[in-house]
Structures are given as structure tokens and as C-alpha cells.
Structure 1
Amino acid sequence: MSTSRWVRRPGTWFTVTLALVLAGVLITTLDRGHARSAPPPADATPPPSSTTATPVAPAPEWMRPLRPGEKPPQFVLFSFDGAGSHEHWGRYLSLAKSVNAHFSGFLSGIYLLTDQQRPRYTGPGHKPGAASIGFGGSAGEVATRVQDLNAAVAAGHQVGTHYNGHFCAGAEPSVGRWTAQGWTEEIGQFSHFVDDARDHLGLHLSAKDVTGGRTPCLEGNWAAAFPAMLAAGYTFDSSQPSDGVKWPTRLDGIWEFWMPYVKVPALHKKVIMMDYNLWYQLGHNKNDAGQYTQATLDTYRGAYRAAFDGNRAPLVIGNHFNDWAGGAFSRAAEGFMGEVCTKPETVCATYAEVTKWMSLQDPAVLDKYRSMPPAQAG
């Protein structure tokens, strides 16, 4: 099995070592644990649907057109794949509230199904009930997850999609081989699981509220995937890598929020700034948690400074709700959220918020910043 993927750079090809095949195998075990990280509540009865309209929060001061000569805010987009762990939801919700931050959780749709309900999911080209990650656990665990998602929505965070079965290269047919019809089926099932949880479990979210997400292992045949995303009403994706921190680009009607490929000071080379990729490149060792946390923080800080001092492109921080390397990467994300979201001219926002902000700007002003070179850490 190959553990590399190719990324196009001007004038050359180079390999970005993602170890995504291994990721698909490893996440099968790890995400199953994350989906079940919380014991069921004493009362596992699903919460009733809310009948009271949620008050609309006033728009933040920065949600406006830029004034003449004003630079864009330095947006930082914290995003978490899977989004199933009760423990991690609690930690990030509390931290984000303390630093006035918003973030995005990309939900794996089958986390809304109990283990007994797994035959309800059929991945494109796969047998009913097959998946490369675990399902949602017990009814009590799913009910707890719904409560976590409701708390996130109420606090202004975004819930996007990580699709369903997490079929990466090696678990064929994988997402990179799906046709447009396959993507339509996968998205349709995700939408059904969300709306069913709304109707029967009290989820304060519907499929129409989900406007994009990230594909498993950052894989996909985009010529097939994007038409299906667009047909589902999606407006953004955050899966494709870019060399440096780059402004979102509209591709076939979808805003691509690029996953930046940045310099890791501890390695003296570039890596896609996703926690799993950093872990793999740093050695995949379970015993260097402190080293991994510091190396990841240094990487985040370097990328932030390059963007802030350069093109001010939104900085995507890609993560999972995980405990890899003893929780080293979760601690790095939490530490960076705690320090960066309080910095001047910095806004920790969701994809929906940044997309809305871009829609308010003079296109010529944004084109000026888009024409600047992608931000590169020194």
C-alpha cells in the first residue's frame, strides 16, 4: 500500500507523506473509541425538540466591509474531524467560550446511529453496515452526542460533515474512487441521519444547516465530488492541500479552504498542518507527547505569523477529537486556541462566518490579497 499522495506545485511534483492508508486503518480503532468516549447518561431518553426560537446574536464588529486601507482580520479556523467525543466537545466548548472563539466540528454521520442501527448505512460500493470507523455506540451515547451538538450550535459553532464510512485508500472503493453518484449517495445518507436525529432525538440541526466539510483522509476525485456537494447545497470544502497559507478559492462553485502545507521547525521540512500528518512525520511514537506538543505549537505559531505579516489568508488548523501520543495534539490545539484567539486583529471563526465576511467585501480588495504569494513560515 502506498503511504504518499502527490500534490501539484508550480513547475514540479513533490510527495506529501500523509500515511493516509495507515490513517484509515488506525482511525478505524481510534475513532471508534472517540465515538464512545462518554458513558451514557443516567437518563438515556432523547431530549425533546426545542419549541423556543434561539435568539439571534448580534453581528460581531468585524462582520462588515473593510474600511479604506484596513487589512483583513487574521482569521483562524479550528476544525475537528469526526466530532464524536463527549470529552473533547466539553473541553473545546469551554475553552472557546473563555476566549470568544468559534470553531467547526465535522461530524461523521454514522456517529448518530447506534451500533445496532449500523445496517442502516450502506457506503457506495460497500455492504450494509460496513465502515472504516465505529458507529455511535449505545442509545445513551448517541443521546449524549446530540446534546453536545446542540450545545455547539447554541454557542455559535459550526457543524459540518466528515461524511460517513471514512473509506480511505485501501478500503475500496474508497472516497478517491467514488463517482458523482457515489458521492450523492453518501451525502444523501449523511443528510438523512442528521434529519432523522432532528426528528427523533431532538437534534437542533437539520441537513440544510450543513454547508460543507472535510473528506476522509483529504481524499477525493473532485471532478466527481464537487457536483454532488453543490447539488446538496454545500458552499465549501476544506480538504485539498496548498503550498503555504492561501486564500480560499472558488472551484466549480465551491469555496476551497485550503489545508496548508507548512514548515515544521522540528523537522526542517514541510508537512500538511493536520494533527495526524504531524504525528506521522514526527515519528509516530507514543512516548514523546511533550515533544509533539511543542513541535506542533511551534508550527502553528510560525504559520500564523507568516499569514499575519503577509497575505492575511485564513489559517486552517485541522485536527481530530483524538488522544494520539497521549493527547499531545489536543493539548497543542487547546494551547494555541487559548493564546491566538485573544491576539489583536485576530478572529477565531467558522467557515460559514468567513464565507459571509468575504461576501461583504469589495472583490477588488480581496483580489489584491489573493494575488499576494501564499504565506510561508521562515
Structure 2
Amino acid sequence: MAAISLFVSGCAPSFKAEAAPLESTSTTPAVVAPVLPTRVPSNVPMRKLAPGEKPPQFVLFSFDGVGVSPNWDEFLKAAEESGARFTALMTGLYFLTDRASKRYRGPGHLPGESALPFGGTRKEVREQIGYLNRTWYAGHEMGTHFVGHFCAGTKYPGKDWTAGDWKNELNQFFSLMQNWRRNTGINDGPDLAFGPGAVKGGRTQCLEGSPEKLFPALRAHQMTWDSSMPAAKPGIYWPSKTRGIWEFPVPYVYSPALKARQTALDFNFWMTYNGAKNTPKQAPKISRMVRGTYNYMYKRAYAGNRAPIVVANHFNDWSGSAFNPATWQFMRDVCGNPETICATYTDLVSWLELQDPAVLKELQGLPPVAVDAKS
């Protein structure tokens, strides 16, 4: 809490010169409240576009299932240097120690079952909380990557879930987030710097689920956006609101280096390149291919309809850490450019909803940027 000033503009208190200062007779030590960091503010100017005015080029960086990794440090550093904001999509498993794994029960699964590891030891969970707080105070957004990460190939994957299953999964995500101390028995270290109200959207595991089943669950938790759906058409186009949720699809674009179209997700790049085979020696080549594709997408959108670019990534070390360097280099390539804002989803939603409906409708009516072999 800020200290209360003794001075009001134009009026200062007066004191008698002979008055002796009062001495405290208390022997109880003064309690000093801890000074908490101040969260870095939004980087999106909240103003309406004039009719016919070009919008900024928004770029949306988001990271699925953020877990403790040197890559997290690198992205925080790149964002600070370039003025970018990104969205960290939290996996609920990481709020639980391995010993507390049975606190989670995924839809259609037994208690403690998951497709990914849990949070590890108490020390590792505390470290995770520290990274989340650091990210939050740096001005980035916290979203959800749900909990169990049950994809196609598991006994009851997300693609088969009902609306009730998605609500159950989100109920558990928020419960794990709020009750991480009680679930794990961790009584020391910092509290989580933000609450459930900060989580306004997310991405499902393996891009599974449908708006008909997923979006009612999002609305039930007062969420406003989603970025789980592969793009329904090629190119880059302005997002729209459906079933009460803003959908930011993962784009389906042409990669000049690969000479093929694909969903612009790091794992999909890997699959297209060599079937997701681990080839660390080829990491520099893969990294150049991914970075080149992102820059190609950016140049086409910037010169075209200025539709937001979704960059979907993981904190992974696949194939000799081929993918993360490409993404943080791309962040540095473009985020300081004129008329370019590397923003969070929630800030972009606020900007979109501020616009005059006619102006927004005109943007949404623009044809997709043709990011393909002929463009």
C-alpha cells in the first residue's frame, strides 16, 4: 500500500517550533509490509480506428503448457528487449507434485492419470510458481492449456469430450491453480501473483475439441477467447466472435522453405520437415526454415490486410532445440517495427471490442492474405 502523503497541493501543515518530537514507548518491532513488484502495463493503445485507417499489425505469441525451462528465460529476455507481450498457457498438472497426482482426475480417466508428467517435487512446483509470477509481473498474459493433455491415441481423448467433460476439466484446472498450496503441502515461498479472473482464454491439447462442445465451458468460466482451432481456410484473416467467444485460429499457410502448406505450429513444422524425427545436427537448418516462414507471414500480412498473426509454440527442445530460437529471433525481428504490436490475446480482444462495429466488420470482410506458393 502506498504511503499517505502529509502534503496536499497548495497546503502544507504547520508545526510549533518548540514542540518536541514524540518518542515511542512500544517495544514491539514495526511490521514492514513486503513491497510487491508492479505489473508492467499493456502495450496496446486503446483507441478507435478512424474510417479507412490502417490497423496496427498485431502478432500473438503464445506458448503451450509452460513449464520451467531455460527457454522461458530466453523468451522473457527477448520480450523485454523488443517490447513484446506474450501469452503463457498453463498446464494444470504443474500445480501438483508427483505425490499429489491423484488430486486430478481427467474426464474418462482414473485419478492420477495424465499424458504428461506432473509438477515433480515441492521445490520444482515452487520454481514453477516463481516463473509464473515473474511472467505475470512482466506484463504477459496467463491462459490455460487445460490439465491432462489427453490427445488422440489415449483411451478418451479431448476430441471425443462432451461440453460437460470440458467444464469438468476447466473446473479442475482452476481448482488446482487456486489450491496448489493445500494440494501439495507447500507452506513457504511466494503466493501466486494472480487469480482465476486473469485467465480469459487458452488452447486445448493437440488443437482438439470443437466450438460446439468447448465454448460453452469457456463461457461458464467467464472466458472470452480461444486459440485452439486450426484455420478453416488458407491464409491470414481477421478473427471473429462465434458462440460468444473470440476465436483466433492457428493459421494454415505456405512455407517457402518447405514448399508446402501447413498449420503454423512448431510441432507441425517438425512433422512436415521430416516426420518429427530427432535430428539435432539439422537444428540450424530447421530453425532458419521456421524463422523464414514466420517472417514471410509477417511481411505478407503487414503489406496486406494487417490481420493478427498467431504464433503457437512450446517450450521444447525438440530436434536439438530447433524451434524456440527461431521464435525468439522472430520476436526480435518484428516486435520493434513501426505499426507493429506484439500483444496478448486479452488486450487484442479489448481493442477489437472498442472498435466501431462498422469498421470492425470491414476488417473482417477483407479477403485472407494469400500466403501461398503463388503469392
TM-score, normalising length: structure 2: 0.84
Q: 2: distance between equivalents of 1:64 and 1:301? A: 27
The offset of 1:184, in angstroms, is: 0.9
In the superposition, relative to structure 1, how do residues 275 and 61 fare at CA in structure 2: closer, same or farther (>3 Å)? Answer: closer
Q: Equivalent of 2:347, from 328, 331, 353?
A: 353
User: 1:96·1:337 contact (CA, 8 Å) conserved in 2?
Assistant: yes
Structure 1 residue aligned with 2:104: 121
Matched residue SS, 1:288: helix
Q: Does 1:312 align with 2:295?
A: no
Is 1:229 aligned to 2:218, yes or no? yes
1:311–1:370 contact (8 Å) kept in structure 2: no
Change (3 A) 1:59 1:348: closer
Task: From 262, 267, 292, give the equivalent of 1:298.
Answer: 292
* 1:108 and 2:97 are equivalent in the alignment: no
For residues 180 and 41 of structure 2, what CA distance do their matches in structure 1 show?
28
- Give the partner amino acid of 2:201: G
Choose which of 142, 154, 164 in structure 1 pairs with 2:147: 164
Across the two proteins, how many residue pairs are aligned to each other?
329
- Gaps spanning 5+ residues in structure 1: where? 1-49
Change (3 A) 1:364 1:169: same
Worse-matched range after superposition: 278-287 or 150-159: 278-287
Distance 1:280 1:357, change over 3 A: same
> Which stretches of structure 1, 4 residues or more, deviate above 2 A after TM superposition?
50-63, 67-70, 197-201
Q: Is the counterpart of residue 204 in structure 1 residue 193 in structure 2?
A: yes
**Cα 1:207–1:299, aligned 2, differ >3 Å: closer, same or farther?**
same
Q: How far does the alpha carbon of each residue in 1:170-193 deviate from its partner, in whole angstroms, 9 at most, with x for none?
A: 112111111111111100000001
> Partner of 2:267 in structure 1?
276
Larger Rg: 2
CA distance in 2, matches of 1:178, 1:196: 25
CA distance in 1, matches of 2:42, 2:90: 26
The Cα RMSD (Å) is 1.7
Aligned match of 2:254: 263
Q: Is the 8 A contact 1:106 1:160 kept in 2?
A: yes
Q: Does 1:145 align with 2:128?
A: yes
- Give 1:341's aligned residue: 335
- Supply the AA of the counterpart residue of 1:346: T
Equivalent residue letter for 1:295: M
Aligned residue identity for 2:347: E
Q: 1: distance between equivalents of 2:235 and 2:253?
A: 5
Q: Which moved more, 1:328-337 or 1:195-204?
A: 195-204
Q: Is the 8 A contact 2:39 2:138 kept in 1?
A: no
TM-superposed CA distance for 1:59, in Å, is: 5.5
Residue 218 (1) aligns with residue 195 (2): no
Deviation at 1:144, TM superposition (A): 0.7
Question: What CA distance in whole angstroms lies between the structure 2 residues aligned with 1:59 and 1:327?
Answer: 30
SS of the residue aligned with 1:271?
strand
2:28 aligned residue: none
> 1:198, 1:206 within 8 Å by CA — same for their partners in 2?
no
Shift of 1:198: 7.3
Q: 2:72 is matched with which residue?
A: 89
Deviates more, 1:66-75 or 1:325-334: 66-75
